[in-house]
Amino acid sequence: MSLTVLTSAYRLRSLCRLQRIQAHMMSSHAEPEVLLEKVGRTGVITMNRPKVLNALNLTMIRQIYPQLKKWESDNETDIVIIKGAGDKAFCAGGDIRAVTEAGKVGDSLAQDFFREEYILNNAIGSYRKPYIALIDGITMGGGVGLSVHGRFRVATEKTLFAMPETAIGLFPDVGGGYFLPRLQGKLGLFLALTGFRLKGRDVQRAGVATHFVESKKIPDLQKELVDLKSPSAEDVSRVLDSYQSQSSLDAEKPFILKKHVSDIDRLFSASSVEGIVKNLKTDGSEFAKKQTETLSKMSPTSLKITLKQLQAGAALSLQDVLVMEYRLSQACMRGCDFYEGVRAVLVDKDQNPKWNPSTLEEVSDQMVEQCFSSLGEKDLTL
């Protein structure tokens, strides 16, 4: 069978699969995928796909964004609260599998998803009313984008935060290039390259969450926030502070990375990924060995893009970072590592991706540079 016929068959199969996924995404579920309700003078957004850990899809983005804008200009709405249904996740990320299928066959979902998601992230980052994300459970990727740019982020002992994108041939997007370099020292770069997971109180200690409140207190906290009479950000802050002071769970446990903070700052301060790997190998401590092993599994292209993304993002506004990240997202759609990463981690789950290029040395500066180049009239406009 000729290569052309094989390619056509592959594209047709992908297209059929994409149509099935889109039909599923657009189908009218008995349960709406996102609940938008007004409780008193509070807008409440609930991601309502607990079976898939509240993964964010395009349909949900298209419901949340206009509602957020409406509440922002509505005199009857004082604050917005966003949370996830079920007891496992706030939002475990974007609906990456649907995006992968779309990217394979050149379907517009691969552009639309990132474009509209980033527009939503920007709306959250510039929101004029108190925006409170209750990140009670798994919060990764797209879920980070829905929370971290808001004024208040409340973690609980169930919170699990990570930006694991370099493991699937992507990069920590949704404004990761903005908030990660603004964490203490080189912590953000460490989290971005390794996908290291932070849990519970450590999410706040790292600066990702603004508050820590025990999970069982969240319903009372929400009720108290809803009952506030025309609150300012300071009023919201006071309520959150008071709930935090009542939450002593794990308070005596030190920050999980406490003994490694100075190591991270030292080892991850090189100006290239090769330099970081060299520092880790030279150091030779258990911690350094573990990070070397982790980085060796990641997409070399992703690692290099991510380092440059955070270096640039440190000096950019959130809007400029999102424009840059949209360019990167489309570069990943054009490349091959993203599809291979999703296959290895999410589809076949063999955890054995074959990256191309397979080594850091083979990823030239020019290849990285190209990923950041303008898309002309297809650039993201905010």
Q: Which helix (H) or strand (E) holds 135?
A: strand 131-135
Q: How confident is the model at residue 183 (pLDDT cuts 50, 70, 90)?
A: very high
Q: Which residues contact 187 (CB under 8 A, 6 or more apart)?
A: 206, 207, 257, 261, 264
The answer to whether the CB of 144 falls within 8 A of the CB of 191 is no
Q: Is the pLDDT score of 357 beyond 70? A: yes
Give the right CATH number for 34-250+257-378 from 3.30.750.80, 1.10.357.10, 3.40.190.10, 3.90.226.10.
3.90.226.10
Q: Tens digit of pLDDT for each residue in 243-269?
A: 999 999 999 999 999 999 999 999 999
- 382: three-class secondary structure by DSSP: coil
The residues carrying an active-site annotation are: 94, 142, 165, 173
Q: Is the pLDDT score of 271 beyond 70? A: yes
The answer to whether the CB of 355 falls within 8 A of the CB of 300 is yes
The answer to whether the CB of 42 falls within 8 A of the CB of 83 is no
Q: How confident is the model at residue 2 (pLDDT cuts 50, 70, 90)?
A: low
CA 90, CA 78: separation in Å to the nearest integer? 22
Least confident segment among 21-30, 133-142, 177-186: 21-30
CA 10, CA 7: separation in Å to the nearest integer? 5
Q: What is the mean pLDDT of residues 208-213?
A: 98
Q: Is the pLDDT score of 124 beyond 80? A: yes
pLDDT of residue 225: 98
Q: Which helix (H) or strand (E) holds 173?
A: none
Q: Is the pLDDT score of 274 beyond 70? A: yes
Q: Is the pLDDT score of 4 beyond 90? A: no
Q: Is the pLDDT score of 27 beyond 90? A: no
CA 355, CA 297: separation in Å to the nearest integer? 9
Q: What is the mean pLDDT of residues 305-309?
A: 98
Burial level of 127, CB count in 10 A (0-12/13-18/19+)? middle
**What phi and psi values does residue 53 have, to the nearest 5 degrees?**
55, 35
Q: What is the mean pLDDT of residues 41-53?
A: 97
| Residues belonging to the chain | 382
Please confirm whether the linkage preceding 357 is cis (ω < 30° from 0). yes
The answer to whether the CB of 336 falls within 8 A of the CB of 302 is no
pLDDT of residue 30: 74
Share of the chain above pLDDT 90, in %: 92
Half-sphere exposure of 134 (CA within 13 A, CB side): 28
Return the residue matching tokens 């009479």.
229
CA 285, CA 180: separation in Å to the nearest integer? 25
Q: Is the pLDDT score of 8 beyond 80? A: no
> What are the residue boundaries of the structural domains of the chain, listed by start?
34-250+257-378
Q: How confident is the model at residue 3 (pLDDT cuts 50, 70, 90)?
A: very low
Global pTM reads 0.92
Q: Which helix (H) or strand (E) holds 242?
A: helix 233-245
- 3: three-class secondary structure by DSSP: helix
CA 343, CA 271: separation in Å to the nearest integer? 31
Instruction: Name the average pLDDT for the chain.
Output: 94
